[in-house]
């Protein structure tokens, strides 16, 4: 039995918990650090404690999946706040050499993000000055990148000149200094791949766009990858919080000597070519990236595929894509003509009837499931005929999660025998995704947030009323399950409990 050591991006369930739930489906052993070492949002992880844990756990491990962001900075949010000099960052990253020297048979699968530059003003996960200068910093990067390759329009040129005075020099200096250091750490990680210290590296683009700081850094890093002829061992594509899952799937495929074939089907003819919100490339290119990253490939036919990835796709790109809470009536007009939900549901029914493993990537809207589709699938009693599902946050988050699940389950489906717990734990993770991505993100989150005013909280500040809000969310999720998942959930929801791990409404932690 192969042992995998895993250091997550941070302490949130999507990073610390989801890969564990996937590993529980398999016969691989996944070891991860105690929660107490992982930090708390803006509080960095105990890096020294993580190093000690790694020395002990990797001594007899076959694989290490490790977030360089946590190992170097203390987590995803600390990577946007730190004041570490490059020399200290390089020393922390080079700790991977020590692990490899101690256990030469250890195969290291690492990931390190390209730091995001959100397009909005908020300091919830960014430096304090992002509350006032977030959008100007985003536009600074956008116009810098665009102006380097194209002639700016007159209004863009005037905006560019205005930004020179809007953003204080100290703010810009701090922001650019940190980006430069983080980008150099990515260069160093690529160098470790070339040395053979890191066996496989993913560099995700966190919340990126067509122009901006992230695309500039991506091109620079890709030139290094191409120069060193490492395109088979270093991947760059949009994503972040799903990478732990997808790298576990890749390790699983290597252990099992398995390369699954996926057939991909979209709900919209325009779907493959649209550019998702928070990303920089067509949806089909992202689908290929997640499949490839997980150890699978895109085939040409459902007849030979190990699983069918049904992609519920938006018909329009970027900012016009619906957010999950948006009522159906308020969506872009293309949703009424260029997405065929009834035909999509019929295809799921037909393929499931032929014995195909169905994985549903629900990315037609952002930050949650498409209630219109899911309600129809529930009405047609198709939910029990789907094996894997995800529809949370960004398109990349959902794709990586559902692809990872499908890869693992498709392997065991093709085996004469499988571990006794495989089906039960696979169903558990599927149900978990339905309750969180559909129940919480699309429905209950908004309903519960409507009570924040009377309880004295705000969307991003519920720490002082966390227990009350968690109880409210739990009750509403029970109601949701009774209405839509009575057959699918069976007795699994009897002990359903919800918690708000970052003292805000954006994410939830579930116990089933």
SS3 per residue for 440-483 = HHHHHHHHHHCCHHHHCCECCECHHHHHHHHHHHHHHHHHHHHH
Yes or no: say if 407 and 296 are a contact pair by the CB < 8 Å rule. yes
Write the DSSP symbol of residue 322: E
Yes or no: say if 283 and 363 are a contact pair by the CB < 8 Å rule. yes
Do 282 and 198 reside in the same domain of the chain? Answer: no
Express as a percent the part of the chain with pLDDT over 90. Answer: 93
Is position 124 within any domain?
no
Do 379 and 296 reside in the same domain of the chain? Answer: yes
Report the range of poorest mean pLDDT among 146-150, 186-190, 230-234. 146-150
Q: Would you state the pLDDT for residue 403?
A: 98
Is position 140 within any domain?
no
Distance CA 254, CA 305 (A): 19
110 has which bridge partners? 66, 201
Work out the number of other CB atoms within 10 angstroms of the CB of residue 419.
14
Domain count, the chain: 3
Do 335 and 208 reside in the same domain of the chain? Answer: no
- pLDDT tens column, 13-23: 999 999 999 99
CATH number at residue 239: 3.40.50
Do 226 and 293 reside in the same domain of the chain? Answer: no
Q: Would you state the pLDDT for residue 1?
A: 81
Is position 21 within any domain?
yes
Is position 238 within any domain?
yes
Of 255, 279, 313, the residue that ends a domain is 255
If phi > 0 it is left, if psi is from -120 to 50 it is alpha, else beta; for residue 508 that is beta
Do 70 and 211 reside in the same domain of the chain? Answer: yes
Is position 278 within any domain?
yes
Yes or no: say if 127 and 167 are a contact pair by the CB < 8 Å rule. no
Provide the pLDDT confidence category of residue 486 given band limits of 50, 70 and 90: confident
Q: How far is CA 290 from the centre of its chain?
A: 10
Do 220 and 297 reside in the same domain of the chain? Answer: no
- What is the DSSP track for 185-237? HHHHHHHHHHHTSSSEEEEEE-S--SSSHHHHHHHHHHHHHHHTT-TTTEEEE
- What is the DSSP track for 340-394? -HHHHHHHHHHHHHTT--EEEEE-SEESS--HHHHHHHHHTT-GGG--EEE--SS
Do 344 and 407 reside in the same domain of the chain? Answer: yes
Q: Would you state the pLDDT for residue 276?
A: 96
Do 114 and 197 reside in the same domain of the chain? Answer: yes
Do 349 and 447 reside in the same domain of the chain? Answer: no
Q: Provide the whole-model pTM.
A: 0.97
Mean pLDDT, the chain, integer: 96
Is position 426 within any domain?
no
Do 448 and 387 reside in the same domain of the chain? Answer: no
Distance CA 201, CA 480 (A): 40
Is position 45 within any domain?
yes
**Does pLDDT of 386 surpass 80?**
yes
Q: How far is CA 144 from the centre of its chain?
A: 27
Do 32 and 53 reside in the same domain of the chain? Answer: yes
Do 101 and 215 reside in the same domain of the chain? Answer: yes
Of 414, 448, 470, the residue that ends a domain is 414
> 276 is in which domain, residue-wise?
259-414
Is position 137 within any domain?
no
């Amino acid at each position: 039995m192969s042992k995998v050591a895993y250091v997550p991006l941070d302490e949130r369930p999507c990073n610390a918990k989801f890969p564990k739930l996937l590993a529980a489906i398999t016969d691989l052993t996944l070891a991860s650090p105690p929660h107490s070492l992982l930090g708390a949002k803006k509080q960095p992880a105990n890096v020294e404690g993580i190093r000690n844990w790694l020395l002990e756990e990797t001594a007899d491990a076959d694989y290490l999946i490790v977030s360089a962001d946590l190992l170097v900075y203390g987590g995803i949010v600390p990577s946007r706040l730190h004041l570490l000099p490059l020399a200290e960052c390089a020393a922390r990253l080079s700790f991977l050499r020590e692990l490899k020297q101690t256990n030469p048979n250890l195969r290291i699968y690492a990931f390190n993000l390209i730091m995001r530059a959100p397009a909005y003003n908020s300091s919830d996960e960014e430096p304090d000055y992002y509350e006032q200068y977030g959008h100007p910093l985003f536009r600074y990067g956008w116009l810098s990148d665009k102006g380097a390759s194209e002639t700016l329009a007159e209004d863009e040129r005037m905006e560019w000149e205005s930004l020179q005075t809007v953003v204080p020099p100290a703010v810009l200096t701090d922001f650019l200094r940190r980006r430069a250091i983080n980008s150099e750490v990515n260069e160093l990680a690529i160098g470790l791949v070339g040395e053979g210290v890191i066996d496989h590296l993913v560099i995700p683009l966190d919340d990126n766009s067509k122009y901006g700081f992230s695309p500039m850094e991506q091109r620079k890093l890709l030139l290094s990858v191409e120069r060193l002829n490492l395109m088979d061992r270093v991947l760059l594509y949009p994503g972040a919080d799903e990478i732990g899952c997808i790298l576990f799937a890749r390790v699983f495929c290597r252990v099992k000597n398995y390369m699954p074939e996926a057939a991909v089907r979209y709900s919209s003819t325009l779907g493959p070519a649209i550019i998702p919100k928070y990303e920089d490339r067509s949806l089909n290119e992202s689908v290929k990236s997640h499949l490839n990253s997980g150890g699978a490939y895109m085939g040409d036919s459902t007849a030979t595929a190990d699983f069918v990835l049904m992609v519920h796709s938006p018909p329009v790109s970027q900012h016009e894509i619906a957010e999950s809470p948006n009522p159906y009536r308020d969506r872009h007009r293309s949703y009424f003509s260029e997405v065929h939900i009834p035909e999509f549901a019929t295809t799921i029914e037909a393929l499931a009837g032929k014995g195909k493993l169905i994985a549903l990537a629900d990315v037609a809207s952002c930050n949650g499931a498409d209630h219109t589709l899911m309600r129809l699938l529930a009405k047609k009693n198709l939910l029990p005929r789907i094996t894997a599902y995800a529809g949370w946050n960004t398109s990349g988050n959902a794709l990586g999660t559902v692809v990872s699940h499908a890869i693992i389950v498709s392997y065991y489906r093709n085996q004469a025998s499988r571990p006794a717990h495989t089906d039960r734990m696979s169903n558990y993770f599927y149900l978990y995704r339905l309750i969180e991505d559909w129940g919480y993100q699309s429905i209950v989150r908004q309903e519960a947030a409507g009570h924040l005013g009377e309880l004295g909280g705000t969307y991003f500040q519920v720490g002082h009323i966390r227990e009350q809000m968690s109880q409210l969310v739990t009750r509403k999720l029970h109601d949701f399950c009774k209405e839509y998942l009575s057959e699918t959930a069976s007795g699994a929801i009897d002990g359903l409990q919800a918690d708000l791990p970052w003292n805000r409404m954006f994410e939830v932690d579930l116990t089933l």
